Structure 1
Amino acid sequence: MRIVVLGAGVIGVTSAYYLAKAGHEVTVLDRQPGPALETSFANAGEISPGYASPWAAPGIPQKAVKWLFMKHAPLIVRPTAHAATWKWMMAMLANCTSARYAVNKGRMVRLAEYSRDCLIALRQRTNIAYDQRAQGTLQVFRTQKQLDGIGKDVEVLKKDGVPYEVLDRAGCVAAEPGLAPNAGKIIGGLRLPHDETGDCFMFTNALATLCAEMGVTFRYGVEIRRLQMEAGKVTAVETATGPVTAEAFVVAMGSFTPAMLAPLGLDVPVYPVKGYSITVPIVDEARAPVSTIMDETYKVAITRLGSRIRVGGMAEIAGFNTDLPPARRGTLEHSVEDLFGGAGDQSRATFWTGMRPMTPDGTPVIGPTRYANLWLNAGHGTLGWTMSCGSSQLLADLMSGRKPEIESGDLALSRYH
């Protein structure tokens, strides 16, 4: 089957890979001059299935009020009059219940664990390299209240059979020796030993090269205008240089997915939640992190990527705003310096922002639409890198008429209707 994939981020490229592997003829279109140049470019670098959790959680509305007055707030809400913003926020708040959190986290962990297994298989099959490490993730808590609040997450981990360790301060330092000089600032942690790290940009580019060797066609610098319809099916993608036809179409455009599908009467609740990162060259190995550390207080991930430290986090609701406020950089610098002071050279750090395509329930939208030849793989939020391979293998199975290895019915767009 001839398939066109819209988007060349990590989701679009992994979609192309698994579809090509299934025997399909694939073309990928993207407006950028190469792969992974938007949200996939400089994310936090963590592959953390066990920490796959929706932002919509019990207590978040109350916490959000407190965060508004924090200097280093993990959530920033900029005033906006856009109806789509308020609609998405209200839908997110509706998911901030214990019952909804359990359902949403359960299916996110299911997909993320499967995705990790798919990535391991891909790596073994291709020997792809992307500054990867498999040394676990450590979530560190600065207060006893934070540590006491992990009960619901631990219940989900137990239910899904995800190995975990609850550590005291000494245990955290044993797992991440670079914490030793500042160990007094934490009281304990939750460690998932099977989690991984890696550079998403490097991975996506290397996989795009493998895709090209498999016969996938990449067309970069293409302005995608709209989908053309006829008799209830998509017939072509209209671009600035003319139509591109196929038998099936996959929309993997991240935060731009809703605008592409709205003219077809499809309401896809994906919103561009802005995130930030800095990439810091390491100057002191002994002080540097070994793998990924989640700083629970600031919702910041600190990840070792080769000779660099990637520090990413925050959620800013501000539409498609792409500015780089110094205050956001200050939060990232504060988190990493507070825990791993002196490990990196902040004067040579690079500062970046990207739009995370988030759904109100945290789970991506993967699968069919009401149009027989139009498929979705979007809305992965902060977990596109973590969920990319599993999402795309699942999509390829569905499009090829095969039964996926995990439950997929509750991942489709139909769950919102």
Structure 2
Amino acid sequence: MKVVVLGGGVIGVTTAWALLRQGAEVTLVDRQNGVAMETSFANAGQVSPGYSTPWAAPGIPLKALKWLFQAHAPLAIRPDGTLFQWRWMAAMLANCSADRYAVNKERMMRLSEYSRDCLRAWRGETGIEYDARSQGTLQLFRSQAQLDAAARDVAVLQDCGVPFELLDAAGVLRAEPALASASAPIAGGLRLPNDETGDCHVFTRRLAELACVQGMTLRGGCTVQALQGDGQRVTGVRVVSSAGGEGELLQADVVVLAAGSYSRDLLLPLGLDIPVYPVKGYSLTMPLSDASRAPQSTVLDETYKIALTRLGDRLRVGGMAELAGFDLRLNPRRRATLEKVTRELFPGGDLTQAQFWTGLRPMTPDGTPLVGATPLNGLYLNTGHGTLGWTMACGSAQLLADVISGRQPAIRTEGLDMGRYGARGATSRPGRLAAA
């Protein structure tokens, strides 16, 4: 079986690896010259199944209104000139009920828990090293109100059988001793001991190297022009090299679209409209000047929605969300917020040497990614993971490889594919494939 995977981030590379392990002949295509050079390059570093939580939650609409007027708010909205942005936000608001939150969180946790198990298995098989730590995630609450509100998440964790520890202030300091030097108030925390951390970029690059050794063809520096087919089935992909020249047709039995935020535009000419929007995030990566004042694992500041992660001798500080389309400019106001949280919680990072980065996270309105088949034969999706691409990557890849090969997946697939948005996605419109 010939498979072309579009997208060289952690989702595309893990998908290629899972398919290779099942005997497929795989070609991986990415517009960058190397893998994991965009959204997977400098994310927050969390592998956090226990914190797989939809952004669409009860109370979020009111919080979002307040955030719009705060200097260091976790959310910013700038009109991008498209109707799709407003449709996407409306769909997200529609998912902010308690019932939808419970459904969406269960789907996300189902996939995330499985994905962590797959990651551990692959790590054992391959011996890949990527600054991995298995010391859990601590969600930090600065106020009693935040601690009280954790009851909703605790209930879902209990229903899903996920281990957790609800901590008071003293318990937080036992879990992360460096917080003793924090200047911010600490009311308590929610610790998820089974969560992990690691450098997504390093993992993805090394897995791609192994995949190439085992026969994967990597086509870097290639832009997708169009998906090819006969009107009912996708049969290949037309690409053009960044070096120039005419387009080239890559024929395939199966095409997997794992192009992150750019997946939607590739599908629109086919009459498929998936609600995947680019949510912009930021990070700082810096060397540690004082390891005694740095986290042991990941601390997630609930107030600012910012994660601070230990990656070997570095500190990664990442988070926030901008709804601003495909704008990749670095906003100094976001850097100021990241620096503020770093100084307040873990001043052991050397901010004078921090590298500032931004990336576009492909997000669905309900938080659950799109993993599975499409109405077009031979075309499959693995996209829309939002802030949890690193968390969900290995499980999404293995599940999709099983679906493609006709094997029984290890977990339920209900609610994970694009079918939950209707037969052809968010809207139904006529479209046709480019002629082969």
TM-score category, normalised to shorter length = over 0.9
Counterpart pick for 1:360 among 365, 390, 395? 365
CA distance in 1, matches of 2:159, 2:238: 46
Q: Which runs of 5+ in 2 are unaligned?
A: 241-246, 423-436
1:323 alignment counterpart: 329
Equivalent position amino acid for 1:160 in 2: C
Partners in 2 of 1:232 and 1:79 — Cα distance? 36
Give the equivalent residue in structure 2 for 1:276: 282
- Once the 2 structures are TM-superposed, how far is the Cα of residue 183 of structure 1 from its aligned partner? 6.7
Structure-1 residue corresponding to 2:394: 389
State the alpha-carbon separation in 2 of the partners of residues 246 and 407 from structure 1: 28
Find the counterpart in structure 2 of residue 216 from structure 1. 216
Deviation at 1:231, TM superposition (A): 4.3
Matches of residues 268-347 of structure 1 in structure 2 within 5 Å?
268-341=274-347, 343-347=348-352
**Structure 2 counterpart of 1:245:** 251
| One-letter code aligned to 2:288 | I
- Partners of 2:130 and 2:203 within 8 A in 1: yes
Secondary structure at the counterpart of residue 223 of structure 1: strand
Is the contact made by 1:169 and 1:183 (CA closer than 8 Å) also made in structure 2? Answer: no
Within 2, Cα distance between the matches of 1:184 and 1:314?
19
Residue of structure 2 in register with 1:408 after alignment: 413
Q: In the alignment, does 2:381 pair up with 1:376?
A: yes
Q: What SS is found at the alignment partner of 1:27?
A: strand
In structure 2, give the amino acid aligned to 1:187. A
Assess if the C-alpha contact under 8 Å between 2:184 and 2:344 holds in 1.
no
Q: How does 1:101-250 map to 2 (within 5 A)?
A: 101-182=101-182, 185-240=185-240, 241-250=247-256
Q: Which residue does 2:90 correspond to in 1?
A: 90
Q: Distance in 1 between matches of 2:183 and 2:331?
A: 30
Query: Share of identical aligned residues, percent?
Result: 59
What letter corresponds to residue 175 of structure 1 in structure 2?
Answer: A
Please give the per-residue CA displacement for 1:150-206, whole angstroms capped at 9, x wherever unaligned.
111111111111100011111111111110012761110000011100000000000
Whole-angstrom distance in 1 between the partners of 2:237 and 2:38: 21
Does the 8 Å CA contact 1:16/1:26 hold for their aligned counterparts?
Answer: yes
Could you list the structure 1 runs, at least 4 aligned residues long, displaced by more than 6 angstroms after superposition: none
Unaligned runs of 5+ in 1: none
2:355 & 2:314 partners in 1: Cα distance?
11
Q: Alpha-carbon deviation of 1:324? A: 0.7
Partners of 2:184 and 2:103 in 1: CA distance:
36
SS of match in other structure, 1:303: strand
Structure-2 separation of matches of 1:348 and 1:231: 53
User: Superposed, which structure 2 residues align to 1:34-73 within 5 Å?
Assistant: 34-73=34-73
Q: Number of aligned residue pairs: give it.
A: 416
- 8 Å Cα contact 2:183-2:344 kept in structure 1: no
Partners in 2 of 1:41 and 1:182 — Cα distance?
28
1:347 match: secondary structure: helix
Question: SS state of the match for residue 128, structure 2?
Answer: coil
Classify the secondary structure of the residue corresponding to 2:222. coil
Q: In the aligned structure 1, how far is the partner of 2:393 from the partner of 2:32? A: 20
Letter in 2 for 1:398: V
2: CA distance, partners of 1:321 / 1:184:
32
Give the AA of the match of 2:254.
A
Whole-angstrom distance in 2 between the partners of 1:319 and 1:412:
24
**Structure-2-length-normalised TM-score:** 0.94
The answer to whether the 8 Å contact 2:33/2:220 transfers is yes
Contact 1:173-1:183 within 8 A present in 2 as well? no
Aligned to 1:372, the other structure's residue is in SS state coil
Q: Do the aligned partners of 2:131 and 2:312 also contact (CA within 8 Å) in 1?
A: yes
**1:258 is matched by which residue type in structure 2?**
R
Q: Distance in 2 between matches of 1:315 and 1:231?
A: 38
Aligned-pair CA distance for 1:85? 0.4
Matched, 1:267 2:294: no
TM, length-normalised to structure 1: 0.99
Instruction: Describe the SS at the equivalent of 1:361.
Output: coil
Matched residue SS, 1:315: strand
Q: What is the deviation of 1:344? A: 1.1
Q: Please give the secondary structure, in 1, of the residue aligned with 2:194.
A: coil
